């Protein structure tokens, strides 16, 4: 299904990569951008990511088939407020936010009920980079996109958003909203929190110059995601606080167990934890066809 006109609100890494992917696939007629500042949007036009941009939401969404909200999750409600007076029956609305309960709650607040033409979504792809300059035309190739339709979601709208992501190269799955937020708290939000915490803890050490000078591959691998955008991650932690707190509690119990094993020279305990983790990681790398490095 070809999209005649698409509007991306927040043309950064995720929105820009969607635009690039759809252009590469020849799946979209025109892509219009909307954002806070024209400087970023001018760059997006110059790079060929979008065809044009508008400063006014009414103009940006005029005649579009699909509107994609690709701003940080803490800004979704404000964008829904700007969008609300211009929504038409034909318009499908979707988003790419990393948390889904908060986006649905924001829509409910603004629209009074969850609109039938809203299809919440989350691409499980990204990098630690931000901004339109980092957008890639193959970011979603063979990557998963989770859609979290609710009872009210119109089947036609769901089909349109599924087709859009498939055209971008993604494999689309559906999941319940709560389940999405719990699973992503454990698999994405917790590792980001740990990476930020590790780097912050090391940066506070007096001898930090020494610490970072001798940091090698393991440190780089573990901490790459601590270069992610602080606004985006503050928003995610605010939006999915309960599930993240629960995942942190679960993690803390294992960390405590390991700390005690190290303090008590409990070799068997340490080995058991490391072995269990290695078997689990090797298993999922194989299942998902990931490289182990």
Secondary element (H or E) of residue 174: strand 171-174
Instruction: State the binding string over 141-180 for ligand NAP (x if CB under 6 A, else -).
Output: ----------------------------------------
Element (H, E) at 182: helix 177-184
Query: To the nearest whole angstrom, how small is the minimum distance from the Cβ of residue 177 to ligand NAP?
Result: 15
Interaction of residue 21 with ligand NAP, rule CB under 6 A: no
Tell me the CA distances in angstroms from 48 to 1, 26, 69, 100, one per residue in order: 22, 14, 19, 30
Q: How far is the CB of 79 from ligand NAP (least distance, A)?
A: 7
Residue number with CB closer to ligand NAP (3 or 71): 71
How far apart CA 25 and CA 20 sit, in angstroms, is 9
Instruction: Give the integer Cα–Cα distance in Å for 33 and 139.
Output: 19
Query: Residue 47 or residue 270: which is nearer to ligand NAP going by CB?
Result: 47
For residues 83 and 87, give the distance between their C-alpha atoms in angstroms, rounded to a whole number. Answer: 6
Partners of residue 33 on adjacent β-strands: 8, 53
Q: Does 14 bind ligand NAP (CB under 6 A)?
A: yes
Say how many residues make up the chain. 293
Question: Minimum Å distance from CB 274 to ligand NAP?
Answer: 29
Cβ–Cβ < 8 Å for 119, 93: yes
Beta bridge partners of 69: 9, 95
Q: Which CB, 115 or 121, lies closer to ligand NAP?
A: 121
Determine, following the binding rule CB under 6 A, whether residue 75 of this chain makes contact with ligand NAP.
yes
Least distance between ligand NAP and beta carbon 13 (Å): 4
Site for ligand NAP in 220-249 (CB under 6 A): 229, 232, 236
Q: Which of 26, 37, 155, 293 binds ligand NAP (CB under 6 A)?
A: 37
DSSP for 122-166, written as a single string: EES---S--SGGG--TTTTTT-EEEE---TT--HHHHHHHHHHHH
CA nearest to 35, candidates 58, 17, 8: 8
7 near ligand NAP (CB under 6 A): no
Q: CA dist 227 to 45, 221, 235, Å?
A: 26, 12, 16
Q: Is 70 a binder of ligand NAP (CB under 6 A)?
A: yes
**Strand 144-147 relative to strand 92-95: parallel, antiparallel, unpaired?**
unpaired
Task: Pick one of 7, 8, 12, 185: the residue that binds ligand NAP (CB under 6 A).
Answer: 12
Touching ligand NAP, residues 91-110 (CB under 6 A)? 96-98
Least distance CB 78 / ligand NAP (angstroms): 7
Q: List residues bridging with 172 in a β-sheet.
A: 145
Q: Residue 130 or 153: which CB sits closer to ligand NAP?
A: 130
Residue numbers at the binding site for ligand NAP (CB under 6 A): 10-15, 35-37, 40-41, 70-73, 75, 96-98, 122-123, 126, 130-132, 229, 232, 236
């Amino acid at each position: 299904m070809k999209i005649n006109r698409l509007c991306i609100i927040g043309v950064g890494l995720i929105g820009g990569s969607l635009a690039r992917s759809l252009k590469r696939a020849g799946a979209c007629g025109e892509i219009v951008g909307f954002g806070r500042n024209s400087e970023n949007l001018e760059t997006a036009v110059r790079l060929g990511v979008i065809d044009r941009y508008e400063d006014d939401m009414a103009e940006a969404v005029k005649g579009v088939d699909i509107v994609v909200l690709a701003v940080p999750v803490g800004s979704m409600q404000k964008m829904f407020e700007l969008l609300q007076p211009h929504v038409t029956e034909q318009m499908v609305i979707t988003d790419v936010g990393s948390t889904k309960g908060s986006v649905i709650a924001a829509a409910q607040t603004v629209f009074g009920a969850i609109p039938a033409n809203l299809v919440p979504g989350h691409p499980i792809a990204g990098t630690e980079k931000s901004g339109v300059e980092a957008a890639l035309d193959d970011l979603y190739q063979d990557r998963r996109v989770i859609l979290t339709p609710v009872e009210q979601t119109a089947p036609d709208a769901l089909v349109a958003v599924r087709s859009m992501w498939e055209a971008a190269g993604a494999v689309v799955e559906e999941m319940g909203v709560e389940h999405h937020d719990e699973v992503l708290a454990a698999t994405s939000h917790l590792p980001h929190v740990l990476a930020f915490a590790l780097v912050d803890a090391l940066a506070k050490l007096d001898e930090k110059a020494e610490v970072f000078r001798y940091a090698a591959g393991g440190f780089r691998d573990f901490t790459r995601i601590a270069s992610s955008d602080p606004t985006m991650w503050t928003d995610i932690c605010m939006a999915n606080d309960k599930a993240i707190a629960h995942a942190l509690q679960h993690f803390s119990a294992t960390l405590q167990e390991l700390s005690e094993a190290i303090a008590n020279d409990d070799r068997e305990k340490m080995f058991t934890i490391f072995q269990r983790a290695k078997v689990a990681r090797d298993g999922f790398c194989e299942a998902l066809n990931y490289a182990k490095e």
